[in-house]
Amino acid sequence: MHDSFLTFANKRYLWVAIVLLLGCLVAYIWHDPSPHPNGGTWLGYTLGTIGAVLIYWLTSLGLRKRAYSSNLGSLGGWLSAHVYLGTALLLVALLHSGFQFSWNVHTLAFVLMTLVILSGFVGVFTYLRYPALMTRNRENASRQSMLEEISSLDQQSLQLADGIDARLHAIVARSIDNTRFGGGVRGMLRTNDASEQALRQVREALEKREKAGQSAEPRTQEMPTMYAMVDFLAAKATDVQAETMRKLLDALSRKKSLATRVSRDIQLQSLMELWLYVHVPLTFALLAALTAHIIVVFFYW
Amino acid sequence: MRWFVRRITRKGKGNVGYQDFAFDGDTLTIGRGADQVVALTDIRSALAHAELTALGSGKVRVESKVITGVKIDGRAERNAIVKRGAVIELGGVRVKLLDAPKGFDAAVEVSPLESVESRVASQALDKTLADTWLSKRRPAWFLFLVVALLFLLLPMFAHFVPQTRPVIDIIPLTSRMTWQSGELARAHHTFGDRCETCHEKPFQPVRDEACGACHGAIPAHADPAKFNLPALGNTRCAHCHRDHNGPDQLIDAQQALCSDCHRDMQASSKGATKLVDAEDFGTAHPPLKVNLPGWNDEGRFTPSRVELKPGLREASGLKFPHELHLRTKGLSGPEGSRVLDCGSCHVAEPGGGRMRPVDFETMCQSCHRLDFDLLAPDRQVPHARIPEILAMLDEYYAGRALAGGYEDARAPIFVQQRRRPGQALTAAQTIEARAWAGNRASEIGESLFTGRACNVCHTVTRSEGAAQDRWIVDPVRVSGVWFAKALFPHSGHSTMQCGECHAAAASKTSTDLLIPGIDNCRQCHGGEAAIKRVESTCITCHRFHDSPYQLMGDLQRAARESKPAVPEKKS
Amino acid sequence: MSERFRIAIVGSGPGGMSAAAHAAELGVPHVLLEAQPHLSNTIYRYQKGKHVMSEPDALPLRSPLAFAAGTREKVLGDWSSGVTKVKTNVAHGHEVTAITKQPSGHFEIRCGNGRTLEAETVVMGIGLQGNIRKMGIPGEDLPFVQYTLDDPEEYEGETIVVVGAGDAAIENAVALAERNKVIVINRRDEFARAKEGNLQAIMKGIGDGRIECYFGSSPEVVEAVEAGPKPGRMALSTPNGKAEIALDRVIARLGATAPRAFVEACGVEFPNSDPACVPAISPKYESNVPGLYIVGALGGYPLIKQAMNQGYEVIEHILGRPVEPADEPLLRQKFGRMPGFTSVEAALAKVQTNVKLLSHITPLQLREFMLDSEVRTPRPGEAIFERNDYTDTFYSIVEGEAQVILEGDKRVTLGSGEFFGEMSLISGRRRSATILAGANCVLVETPRRSMNKLINSVEAVKRSIDAVFILRAIQSRFAPESSYAELAPIVDNATIEKFKAGEVLFREGEEGDCLHLVRVGSLTISRQIGGREVVLSYVAAGNYVGEMTMMGEGKRTATATAAIGSETVRVDAAAFKELMLRNPLLRLRIQSEYRQRAAANLALQNLPTGGDLISFLISQGAGEATDILLIDESLCVRCDNCEKACAETHGGTSRLDREAGPSFAEIHVPTSCRHCEHPHCMKDCPPDAIHRAPNGEVFIADNCIGCGNCKRNCPYGVIQMASKPPKKPGLLSWLLFGAGSGPGEAPHDDAADAGHSASAKKAVKCDMCKDLSGGPACVRACPTGAAVRISPEEFPAYAQSRR
């Protein structure tokens, strides 16, 4: 029922691409001009035209994608063709160039094209791999619902913390303030959230209380107040407080896991989108180079 | 210190109500605790969240009692001194410092953050890359413009505005060198980045005039007046010369370029040509033709171009059996026996193009000596200069007759006996001596021309007439250039043995034509597409620019001025 | 000596008002008695800005007062200006307490303000609303206690107690909960009287804690509080003791005391004690008390326009002038097509005599019925509808005959008086047969809505339709070749059974004594495999289950469960077996289908997850779907292009929410319309704007009034209220320069900035892009092929494709 863009219509466009490639290869081998194959021969011009048309057409996917009421085939088909013919383009262009490269605008166009296509391969890879990862990570919860649950958990833990001690409340409040999802490119590509810290501190506090009497382990200079608090709790946390603290611990851990999932979700999605931020700009560089290439070739004919 | 506190309460539809109260004391405490002056309800706020201390003159110290600090004008602070107008956000409320009204030292307005606001605040963070500074459009434009500018617009500008070239063309990125599709031919490297020398106008293929500017003096291929081949007139240079294909690839050697015209020429030239079709050396090439030596009635050397076929004799006028001279056991000569090979006589010219003429003095004379008198064995007559020879003989014998002491029995006695110095002959004796000398000289000459020397190699005939031109030696002349229309460099074939092509060792008479035919070439050479043989296209042997009477430049001019290739006769 | 009028009109509702105005127009001495300081209290109490409809649109208005669909304010404005224009004699603040017929024939009318006046005839237009019920506890009249709510947006950040459990109370509570702390006090333990949509709304509100509700509780006292944050507090008794609520405001919506007692006091008799019933009145609207006329809702005409026409007509009657009903011309025009048409009366009579089905209903109902319906006279041989059409109208044959073409080209001829189209009407599925018009055939085509109205209001109609349904269902499904007579034994002891969603028809291993022919809804067939129930297949309406018992084995081989609320025709096994004996063809047919099913089940047993997938989909309400959007999350790259496509092709608002909705085994069911067999959204659409297109798409027509009922009624939350967005800049200008808003992004609304919103909100939902060639944009716009739309029949195949 679901037809991935690679298998679209029994790989119709894979076959199209293969036929195209074979055609070009045969022509190229049979042609063999002197002194050596290049864009200047009739085959060169033919391949060049094919390549240029392909490139402009491939670029037009961006338009078709947004021409929602268009009936020019389904977008899935377009993407499928985009992928396969785009790959074929690599060889078409190589044959067009007759494997002549040097430091000039023509080679620049080729290099840009290659980069675009390679970034496209990355895209194909991510599109095949990441959706499944995201699904697994989300466990059937939508991101919004997770965020909502987190905020309710925040409220809950605040109340619990409040029930124990103002300073604990402060820690939790702070950890909530510091919990950030996404935010900035780096923020998205890394998975991090601050609930970890609070969790650790509370846990410590609890353990301290469990093995009360033992001396506090050497303190690092980071946030002495925290440790003061820990000591305080270790010292005179009543059973009730301890119980609440366990509850708090649960809430925080639950939040922690949720938070991790949300930020992982964001991370995965941004990783899945990242390649486009290379693919598209390069494409436009390519368009410029290609146009230059075509004009130049005839400018100095 | 007296505080004026106004608490805003929302009533919906934007309209708000508020209640004011005064507070006496320096520090205004804010928090969820009951003891706080400004009591908050939001769970996010701590029991004691912050303290505001009035410092007078509108200044207020804000101290956060929580580690997180409070947001003062958007920045998180733990301890700060602020002026009126400052906005402090904490635990779901916004505290604004107002001007203190009459009778108060400080004033604050406490209003709840709208639920919407706080919601926004919590979700303000971008969740997808699209929300971040990352953009596709901006870099796309940037790259597009940069590439277009550097590699298209600026170079173009340089093309149209020469003044800018010194700047634009020296920058590697913008110079028009980046337009070069390939390296120029070596000779053209001199142009450097002066593209316009050849590419005069944009979007116009390179015109022949551009080439003509330097190469105008190069011979044309053939005279269109002779060959009615319009194609000849307007073939572009670029037809065969494509540059930007690397240093050595300027000439396109494809035989098709020639065979296009040299195929069924009778038809294309409407029978005007005598040329035979040639398309491929290996398969479709006419038999070779050689310049056979010959003399016209005035005795001028006029070689005739004849097809090379077995049994063809040549007449160089020399008697020279190669077989005899190339005997492997050698020839015995005055300086003893000696083995000759081709190289002893045929020496290539410097550059190796053709052979030097064979030189008698250096190559033959060592054996074929020109001495004439046994009494003076190392006196020789000069070669090929008949008058000198005769004069030399006369002079020699006259001298001997007068000097005496010529011990030859047939000579007069007083010529034989030697005499003391100052002892002169009598007049009668002198006359006799002279007569003898004259006879002797002519007798010796006779033997030289007809006997011993000249007619060994040359054909000598006697004529009645003045003494000095009594002997006529037929002239000797080898063709020199056998293939007038093609190039055969011996140098290129130095790996071969002469005998492999020239059947000299077996030739008993010099009328044998030792020039090999096309079959001989084809043993090694094939056409363009030859396999297992040297691929040789037309221009391996022939030249395109080969017309003795026409220059490429003129021809193209003619074509350009759209004169018909064949100028029609004005009647 | 009190003053005396020719006509006294009690109550200034649409009916009374228009009567008074007409009287004034004719210069008849009259008085309009109104308790409130304003006219037409009922409509006056509508929520601010509420859209008032002018149904039935076809009906011409006949009144000196202007009336057209519009906002409450406009309508009221028109009326009061109209009333003053014709110099109507209005007496406000006159609450009539008693009307007594004097021996001398005239009436004496006593008013609450002590005034008494006399009239020769009385027109009673007091409606059914009656007087608002107050809480009847101390403090019920405190300033912060109110019995109406004009604009919920007026209040924010308040604690508001809403007393009552009716639709009004619920609507207020839900609306207020947006900005306020709302506490609902419900005397009962559930919201019994509420519309389904409202019920879900309030339950959701309570569910996510936005609304607090005291069930089985009643307020005891409300009192003002001087000091403290809140102006008042309410004490109430709850099942677990007393409670006290500090509050800003009390809104009590307790409905009103029905005016029946008062009316009866005036001597008017009611036919029965059903609270809904209205006094019997003559065609001239005169009650059993001569000279006492009743108009409007109390006279059984709940619609405004009808009431106003009545008001006009009643005056005409009183003045003894003949007047034909307002809908006469319409009906005449409708019946005009009918051959041999003489008069509307005759035509109506003919319809009622010929069509048994309609013989039970009152002339009034018939007129209304005919107003909604169309009279059609198709040429002989013309197709009335084709098999697998998705139309759902109901046809009654007045004259001539029609031919039914069943499966296998079996033809059945229906004579005059019979009806057809009931199958699709009931099952909500495609037409099961093609109908060709016979010779001189006259049909009455009735839209689904009015037919359902009739079925639900007149039991007799329902009964006869069901009887015919059973007969035809059995014949067309099992034995097209056998005649009604042969089928009689089966049909007679076949019964219709209802099942709630999840209810079990029969269990695996039970003794099977019947088979079920699904007529509404759908079933799932499951089997115990490895100790757990595995769904093997899905049975849609129009198919049958339980035939396996007929094939030898006496025990049920699987469990049949109703996927959604369903109805089946229960066919008795014995009778069926008998039929099979008599009819070998049937036996063969059943056997072959049996074999196919067994095979399919086996296939599914081999991939239990497939079964789980089906049950998951069913649990997502796919059971009642005709077409559902599914997303394969292992392919979906979250580009939201589907949403964008939807928004772009549907005026800027996406009808689907990709991310929302549950997932199972990487199959995601996004929030988007399933085009149910019996669309919940159609249930309660005042302007009847929701229709099913011939290909099955359920769509909302432009005459939507934005009441939001459909939104409330949709259990899948796929309907939104949206206003037409402003024009967007071209795609390229966005693509290249980022001008304007991109695809799918809400376009920038200058009008909104300027303060006045662009246009009124209307309900929007998925229409499966019925107007776009090439099918649903969401599916076509999916770059990775993750989105598909399939119908429940394909589920088994789908499940197998997912292994």
Per-residue pLDDT tens over the stretch B190-238: 888 888 888 988 898 888 888 888 888 888 887 766 666 666 656 778 8
Residue in chain A closest to B135 (alpha carbons) equals A277
Q: Which residue out of B7, B13, B41 would a mutagenesis test of the C interface target, given it has the greatest number of C Cβ atoms within 10 Å?
A: B13
CA distance C695 to chain A (A): 19
A132 contact C CB<8A: yes
Rank B153-157, C113-117, C750-754 by mean pLDDT and report only the highest: B153-157
pLDDT, one tens digit per residue, over B128-184 is: 777 777 888 899 999 999 999 999 999 999 989 988 888 888 888 888 888 988 888
What separation, in Å, do the N-terminal and C-terminal C-alpha atoms of chain A show?
A: 53
Mean predicted lDDT score pLDDT of chain B = 81
**Does the pLDDT value for residue A208 go beyond 80?**
no
Say which of A63, A132, A140 has its CB closest to residue C634.
A132
List chain A residues with CB under 8 Å of C794.
1
Give the whole-angstrom CA distance, residue B304 versus residue C248: 133
Q: Quick one: three-class SS letters along C117-152?
A: EEEEEEEECCCCCCEECCCCCCCCCCCCEECCCCCH
B139 contact A CB<8A: yes
Following DSSP, what letter does each residue of B503-557 receive, concatenated? -GGG--STTB-----HHHHHTTEE-TT-SSSEE--HHHH--SS--SS-BHHHHHH
Residue in chain A closest to C801 (alpha carbons) equals A1
Residue in chain B closest to A169 (alpha carbons) equals B46
List chain A residues with CB under 8 Å of B140.
280-281, 283-285
pLDDT at B431: 84
Q: Which residue out of C784, C790, C794 would a mutagenesis test of the A interface target, given it has the greatest number of A Cβ atoms within 10 Å?
A: C784
The verdict on a CB contact (< 8 Å) between A131 and C638 is: yes
Residue of C17, C64, C5 lying closest to C296 (CA atoms): C17
CA distance A110 to chain C (A): 24
Following DSSP, what letter does each residue of C507-576 receive, concatenated? -TTSBP-EEEEEEESEEEEEEEETTEEEEEEEEETT-EE-HHHHSS--B-SSEEEESSSEEEEEEEHHHH
pLDDT, one tens digit per residue, over C686-721 is: 778 888 888 888 999 888 877 788 888 888 889 988
pLDDT, one tens digit per residue, over C187-223 is: 888 887 777 777 878 888 887 777 888 888 888 889 8
**Does the pLDDT value for residue B251 go beyond 70?**
yes
Residue B176 structure tokens: 């028009």
| Selected residues 348-387 of chain B with any CB under 8 Å from a CB in chain A | none
CA distance B212 to chain A (A): 18
pLDDT at A224: 40
Give the whole-angstrom CA distance, residue B449 versus residue A295: 82
Residue in chain B closest to A165 (alpha carbons) equals B47
Residue of B562, B488, B90 lying closest to B290 (CA atoms): B488
Residue of C779, C629, C643 lying closest to A77 (CA atoms): C779
pLDDT at A107: 93
The residue-averaged pLDDT of B484-497 equals 85
**Can you list the positions of beta strands (E) in A140-185?**
none
Among residues of chain A, what percentage have pLDDT more than 90?
Answer: 35
Buried b (16+ CB within 10 A) or exposed e, C736-756: eeeebbbbbeebeeeeeeeee
Interface of chain C toward chain A, CB-CB under 8 angstroms? 630, 632-638, 641, 644-645, 648-649, 659-664, 666, 731-732, 735, 743, 772-774, 777, 779-786, 788, 790, 794, 797-798, 801-802
Band of residue A236 on the pLDDT scale cut at 50, 70, 90: low
Band of residue C752 on the pLDDT scale cut at 50, 70, 90: very low
C153 contact B CB<8A: yes
List chain C residues with CB under 8 Å of B9.
157
CB B32, CB B41: distance < 8 Å: yes
Peptide bond into A35 cis (omega under 30): yes
Give the whole-angstrom CA distance, residue B517 versus residue B252: 27
Considering only B358-362, B380-384, C180-184, C550-554, which range has the smallest mean pLDDT?
C550-554
**Does the pLDDT value for residue A258 go beyond 80?**
yes
Give the whole-angstrom CA distance, residue B8 versus residue B18: 4
pLDDT, one tens digit per residue, over A43-69 is: 999 999 999 999 999 999 988 888 888
Band of residue A91 on the pLDDT scale cut at 50, 70, 90: very high
pLDDT, one tens digit per residue, over A24-41 is: 999 999 887 777 888 888
pLDDT at B209: 83
Peptide bond into C302 cis (omega under 30): no
The residue-averaged pLDDT of A268-287 equals 92
List chain B residues with CB under 8 Å of C157.
9-12, 112
> In this structure, is the dihedral angle defined by the CA atoms of residues B562, B564, B566 and B571, taken in order, positive or negative?
negative
Say which of C179, C736, C738 has its CB closest to residue B12.
C179
Band of residue A213 on the pLDDT scale cut at 50, 70, 90: very low
Say which of B43, B147, B181 has its CB closest to residue A106.
B181
Q: Cα–Cα distances in Å, from C579 out to A151, C408, C475, C550?
A: 65, 19, 11, 11
Residue of A37, A95, A294, A45 lying closest to B249 (CA atoms): A37
Helix (H) or strand (E) holding B80: strand B79-82
Output B248 or C395, whichever has higher pLDDT: C395
| Selected residues 62-81 of chain B with any CB under 8 Å from a CB in chain A | 66-68
pLDDT, one tens digit per residue, over B391-424 is: 888 888 888 877 777 777 777 777 777 777 777 7
Mean predicted lDDT score pLDDT of chain C = 83
Say which of B179, B182, B242 has its CB closest to residue A100.
B182
CB neighbour class for C530 (10 Å; exposed up to 12, middle 13-18, buried from 19): exposed
List chain C residues with CB under 8 Å of A132.
633-634, 666
Output B333 or C632, whichever has higher pLDDT: C632
Chains that touch B (3 or more CB pairs under 8 A): A, C
List chain B residues with CB under 8 Å of C180.
12
Residue in chain B closest to C733 (alpha carbons) equals B137
The verdict on a CB contact (< 8 Å) between B12 and C158 is: yes
List chain A residues with CB under 8 Å of C783.
5, 65, 75-76, 78-79
pLDDT, one tens digit per residue, over B267-312 is: 877 777 788 888 898 888 999 988 888 877 777 888 888 888 888 8
Amino acid at A206: L
Band of residue A293 on the pLDDT scale cut at 50, 70, 90: very high
Among residues of chain B, what percentage have pLDDT more than 70?
Answer: 91
List chain C residues with CB under 8 Å of B11.
155-158
**Does the pLDDT value for residue A281 go beyond 90?**
yes
pLDDT, one tens digit per residue, over C784-794 is: 989 999 888 88
**Does the pLDDT value for residue B567 go beyond 60?**
no
CB B3, CB B25: distance < 8 Å: yes
User: Residue C480: which region, alpha, beta or left (left: phi > 0; alpha: psi -120 to 50)?
Assistant: alpha
CA distance B206 to chain A (A): 7
Band of residue C515 on the pLDDT scale cut at 50, 70, 90: confident
List chain B residues with CB under 8 Å of C158.
11-12
Say which of B132, B140, B179 has its CB closest to residue A296.
B179
Say which of B9, B12, B112 has its CB closest to residue C155.
B12
pLDDT at A209: 62
CB C513, CB C528: distance < 8 Å: no
- Between CA B108 and CA B117, with CA B114 as vertex, the angle to 5 degrees is 110
* ipTM score above 0.90: no
The verdict on a CB contact (< 8 Å) between C783 and A71 is: no
Give the whole-angstrom CA distance, residue C213 versus residue C223: 20
The verdict on a CB contact (< 8 Å) between C155 and B11 is: yes
Interface of chain B toward chain C, CB-CB under 8 angstroms? 9-13, 112, 137
pLDDT at C274: 63
Q: Are strands B50-56 and B70-72 parallel, antiparallel or unpaired?
A: unpaired
Size of interface B-C (CB pairs under 8 A): 22
The residue-averaged pLDDT of A169-198 equals 69
pLDDT at B12: 54
The residue-averaged pLDDT of A122-148 equals 86
The verdict on a CB contact (< 8 Å) between C156 and B12 is: yes
Say which of C632, C648, C660 has its CB closest to residue A2.
C632
The residues, any chain, with a CB within 8 Å of residue B257's CB and separated by 6 or more, are B239, B240, B538
List chain A residues with CB under 8 Å of C790.
1
Give the whole-angstrom CA distance, residue C9 versus residue C15: 9
The verdict on a CB contact (< 8 Å) between C157 and B9 is: yes
The residue-averaged pLDDT of C346-365 equals 81
pLDDT at A92: 94
A166 contact C CB<8A: no
pLDDT, one tens digit per residue, over C223-281 is: 888 766 678 888 888 888 888 888 888 988 887 766 788 888 888 888 776 665 677 77
Q: Which residue out of B144, B177, B208, B259 would a mutagenesis test of the A interface target, given it has the greatest number of A Cβ atoms within 10 Å?
A: B144
Among residues of chain C, what percentage have pLDDT more than 70?
Answer: 93
Using a cut of 0.90, tell me whether the model's pTM lies above it.
no
Band of residue C607 on the pLDDT scale cut at 50, 70, 90: low
The verdict on a CB contact (< 8 Å) between B13 and C154 is: yes
The residue-averaged pLDDT of C719-730 equals 76
pLDDT at A87: 95
pLDDT, one tens digit per residue, over C275-311 is: 656 777 777 888 888 889 988 888 777 788 888 988 9
CB C127, CB C43: distance < 8 Å: no
List chain B residues with CB under 8 Å of A174.
66-68
CA distance C226 to chain B (A): 15
Give the whole-angstrom CA distance, residue C153 versus residue B15: 11
Give the whole-angstrom CA distance, residue B91 versus residue B68: 11
The residue-averaged pLDDT of B352-369 equals 83
The residue-averaged pLDDT of A207-220 equals 51
The verdict on a CB contact (< 8 Å) between A297 and B205 is: no
